[in-house]
């Protein structure tokens, strides 16, 4: 580690190992019984609003968000700040539009919420497939970057050591998800957010102090360091060179706002709240944390441009993913004291925890969907025993984690930005229309739901191959080729309207099914849109013997007065 030498590298590795081991032990101690599905999937819906809010924020603030957004702000200025604020706006959208209806309609997975309106094996299986399609690319990106990031911090240059670091992190992520379940991953996110915010706020304060606590002085230095001059503070740097930069910018913002809020590993946190009131309080905590973090990474991005400079950032990583660590080193100077070494170690540990927690939450969401939607209700039609489903959920965490590690090892040498875009575009183009229609449109049918999920996902898969992220640019996934037939960075300008249109078109084709679905929705509408609350459910018993969940009606009673 530049500036701190081998002792600093050893301290970073020791701190990360200690934190990872302690968290794994706590996950083991708080893990559910072998046949306790409610505890594994939802933690008995017993998480406090603050803990659940921090877990929601932790799931939402992925490693791609932390590292990528700081890099975009450092290299693109104004455009990066707008995208950072769009991430916060996405969570506000989830808070005001979808959070309570999702909690009311769902039980364990997104498939539960969708089949509230349109029961059937096809909906379950399709929901599972779309969950995997949305989260698997994002997991690959974060795992693939983990090896390089650890090597950057610890000074490793051997490719074999980088791959070993990646595999080690992957094993830890699988363990957190399989052992801890909902409570365990919430614990990881809680520790992650405390360390990440603490280290980020401290480094941001040091950056501002270097410029006399003057935001104007910091912005002026960032303009000079970025090499863009006054253009750094205006829109247009991020998508310059494209046929329609303004349209590309708006489309990217819309994709982030709709896609980030609806990804399955974020929405599954809605099911762990005790009541509708608790959901609102949890989302309030989450929004406050995410907005605060957006302000912090804005300062860090400007600080990276001002103190490290564009050349150093792009030399370390063309996408700017190491800008956060570069600004940490730059603000501490060449000769660091023990306290400053500890601060940088805290920042590095926060990045590691972000990687671990984000992928652990995604693995849990995929494992839950595989076990609950695909096998328990898609293949076995709900006849599987709870103990076997529990074993399947843990086995599914291993089954989804191992291929992800293998794909991440293979993908290390490629540009992975298209995979991040695919995840957010599927969230915005397939999952968002399906949830909005299912929760609020009385006429929506099973055919419309399947058309939305399948049509939106396929549209993204086809269009992403023609974007400039895949070919046509030096930083594309295939820089030597040029089949850039879709001249935008994201697919949202076409795929988002297409996803909503497919839902409408499929519903119009429903015919008689539309009347049946409308009656079914009217029977559950008071429940889905209910905001009344009742006293919290009793906590799980602490008496000796196997723990059992409190009474949890499924399906829910239609009377909203009985709603918890």
Looking at the DSSP assignment, which residues form a beta bridge with residue 471?
A: 478
* Region label for 323, one of left (φ > 0), alpha (ψ between -120 and 50) or beta (otherwise): alpha
* DSSP category for residue 75: H
What CA–CA distances, in Å, run from 476 to 414, 470, 489? 9, 5, 11
| Both structure tokens of 262 | 């609806």
- The answer to whether residues 218 and 302 touch, using CB atoms and an 8 Å cutoff, is yes
Predicted pLDDT of residue 350 = 79
The secondary structure of 541-557 as a DSSP string is P-SSS---PPP--SSPP
User: pLDDT digit of tens for each residue in the chain (564 aa)?
Assistant: 344 444 456 666 676 677 777 777 777 666 665 566 777 777 666 778 888 888 888 888 877 778 888 888 988 888 889 888 888 888 887 777 888 888 888 788 888 888 887 888 899 999 999 999 999 998 888 888 776 677 666 666 677 777 787 888 788 888 878 777 777 778 888 888 888 888 889 889 989 998 889 888 899 899 888 888 888 888 878 887 777 788 888 888 899 888 888 899 888 888 877 777 888 888 888 889 989 998 999 999 999 998 888 888 888 777 777 888 888 878 876 555 566 677 777 777 777 778 777 888 888 889 888 988 888 888 877 677 777 888 888 888 888 888 988 888 887 777 778 888 999 999 999 999 999 998 888 888 888 999 999 999 999 999 999 888 888 777 777 877 778 888 888 899 999 999 999 999 998 886 666 677 777 777 777 777 775 444 444 444 444 444 444 444 444 444 333 333
How far is residue 255's CA from residue 481's CA, in Å, rounded to a whole number? 26
Specify the 3-state DSSP secondary structure of 471.
strand
Radius of gyration of the CA atoms of the chain, in A? 23
How far is residue 361's CA from residue 117's CA, in Å, rounded to a whole number? 26
How far is residue 457's CA from residue 537's CA, in Å, rounded to a whole number? 38
Give me the phi and psi of 384, to 5 degrees please: -75, 145
Complete domains list, the chain, with CATH: 5-414 (1.20.1740.10)
Q: Give the CA angle between residues 28, 33, 39 to the nearest 5°.
A: 90
* Nearby residues of 503 by Cβ (< 8 Å), 6 or more positions away: 433, 434, 437, 444, 448, 449, 451, 452
Specify the 3-state DSSP secondary structure of 412.
coil
pTM: 0.84
| CA atoms within a 13 Å half-sphere pointing along the CA-CB vector of 356 | 33
- The answer to whether residues 390 and 35 touch, using CB atoms and an 8 Å cutoff, is yes
**CA-wise closest residue to 168 among 47, 16, 42, 285:** 16
| Both structure tokens of 210 | 């270097």
* Nearby residues of 108 by Cβ (< 8 Å), 6 or more positions away: 37, 41, 42, 268, 271, 368, 372
Work out whether the CA dihedral 224, 225, 229, 235 comes out positive or negative. Answer: negative
| Both structure tokens of 534 | 């009742």
| CA atoms within a 13 Å half-sphere pointing along the CA-CB vector of 409 | 17
- The answer to whether residues 390 and 34 touch, using CB atoms and an 8 Å cutoff, is yes
Chain-centroid distance, C-alpha 416: 16
**209: number of Cβ within 10 Å:** 10
H or E element, residue 114:
helix 110-115
Work out whether the CA dihedral 356, 357, 360, 365 comes out positive or negative. Answer: negative
* Region label for 190, one of left (φ > 0), alpha (ψ between -120 and 50) or beta (otherwise): alpha
Extract the runs of DSSP E, i.e. beta strands, from 328-465.
Answer: none
Quick one: the chain helix, strand, coil %, rounded to 5?
75, 0, 25
Specify the 3-state DSSP secondary structure of 478.
strand
| Both structure tokens of 137 | 């690319």
Predicted pLDDT of residue 12 = 63
- The answer to whether residues 232 and 78 touch, using CB atoms and an 8 Å cutoff, is yes
Specify the 3-state DSSP secondary structure of 539.
coil
How far is residue 388's CA from residue 120's CA, in Å, rounded to a whole number? 22
């Amino acid at each position: 580690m530049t500036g701190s030498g081998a002792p600093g590298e050893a301290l970073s590795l020791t701190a990360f190992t200690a934190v990872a081991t302690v968290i794994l032990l706590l996950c083991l101690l708080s893990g559910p019984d072998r046949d306790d599905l409610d505890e594994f999937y939802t933690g008995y819906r017993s998480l406090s609003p603050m803990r659940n809010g921090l877990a929601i924020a932790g799931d939402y603030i992925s490693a791609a968000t932390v590292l990528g957004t700081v890099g975009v702000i450092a290299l693109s200025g104004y455009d990066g700040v707008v995208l950072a604020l769009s991430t916060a706006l996405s969570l506000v959208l989830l808070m005001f539009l979808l959070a309570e209806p999702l909690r009311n309609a769902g039980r364990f997975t997104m498939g539960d919420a969708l089949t509230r309106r349109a029961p059937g094996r096809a909906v379950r299986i399709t929901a599972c497939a779309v969950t995997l399609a949305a989260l698997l690319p994002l997991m690959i990106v974060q795992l693939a970057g983990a090896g390089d990031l650890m090597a950057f911090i610890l000074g490793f240059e051997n490719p074999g050591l980088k791959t070993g670091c990646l595999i080690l992190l992957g094993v830890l992520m699988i363990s957190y998800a399989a052992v801890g379940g909902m409570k365990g991953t919430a614990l990881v996110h809680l520790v992650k957010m405390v360390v990440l915010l603490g280290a980020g706020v401290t480094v941001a304060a040091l950056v501002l102090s270097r410029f006399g606590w003057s935001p104007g002085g910091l912005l002026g230095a960032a303009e000079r360091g970025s090499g863009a001059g006054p253009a750094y503070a205006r829109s247009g740097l991020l998508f310059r060179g494209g046929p329609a930069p303004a349209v590309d910018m708006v489309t990217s913002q819309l994709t982030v706002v709709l896609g980030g809020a609806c990804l399955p590993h974020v929405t599954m946190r809605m099911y762990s709240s005790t009541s509708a009131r608790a959901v609102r309080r949890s989302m309030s905590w989450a929004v406050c944390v995410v907005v605060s973090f957006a302000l912090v990474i804005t300062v860090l991005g400007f600080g990276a441009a001002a103190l490290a400079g564009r050349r150093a950032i792009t030399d370390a990583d063309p996408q700017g993913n190491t800008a956060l660590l570069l600004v940490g080193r730059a603000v501490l100077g060449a000769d660091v004291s023990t306290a400053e070494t500890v601060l940088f170690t805290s920042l590095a540990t926060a990045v590691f925890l972000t990687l671990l927690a984000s992928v652990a939450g995604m693995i849990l969401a995929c494992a839950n969907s595989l076990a609950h939607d695909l096998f328990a209700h898609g293949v076995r039609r709900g006849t599987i025993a709870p103990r076997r489903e529990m074993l399947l959920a843990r086995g599914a965490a291993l089954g989804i984690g191992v291929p992800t590690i293998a794909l991440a090892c293979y993908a290390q040498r490629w540009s992975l930005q298209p995979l991040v875009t695919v995840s957010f575009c599927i969230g915005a183009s397939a999952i968002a229309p399906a949830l909005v229609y299912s929760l609020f449109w009385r006429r929506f049918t099973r055919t419309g739901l399947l058309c939305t999920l399948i049509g939106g996902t396929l549209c993204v898969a086809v269009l992403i191959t023609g974007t400039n992220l895949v070919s046509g640019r030096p930083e594309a996934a295939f820089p030597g080729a040029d089949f850039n037939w879709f001249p935008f960075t994201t697919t949202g300008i076409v795929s988002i309207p297409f996803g909503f249109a497919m839902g409408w078109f499929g519903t119009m084709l429903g015919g008689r099914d539309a009347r049946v679905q409308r009656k079914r929705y009217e029977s559950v509408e008071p429940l889905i849109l209910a905001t009344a609350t009742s006293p919290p459910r009793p906590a799980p018993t602490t008496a000796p013997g196997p723990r059992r969940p409190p009474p949890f009606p499924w399906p829910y009673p239609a009377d909203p007065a009985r709603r918890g």
